[in-house]
Amino acid sequence: MPFVHVQTYSGRTPEQKIACAKAIVEAVHKHLGLPPDVVQVLFSDVEKADWFNGDRLGVVAPKAAPAPAPAAAPAAAPRAAPVPAGVKK
């Protein structure tokens, strides 16, 4: 029946894999209406040195450029001191 193969970089804990497998089995059961006991999930750990994207080693997707820092708000113009009564401007 359904077979889901999850390939990731090495380093996931058994607890993470169990939680992920349970979520996958539940999703297949919920959306395809198949009994959970027929869903198979296989995890394959891959070292970054073994994963290529084009000619780039250890990369599965290009990294997005960091977002530019927000521009600082312009400083408010200083206020003029009030002119005392009776003094001409």
Q: Do the beta carbons of residue 58 and residue 48 sit within 8 Å?
A: yes
Active site residue 2: yes
Q: Give CA–CA dist 69/12, Å, rounded.
A: 33
Q: What does the block give as tokens for 62?
A: 């290009």
- The catalytic site residues sit at 2
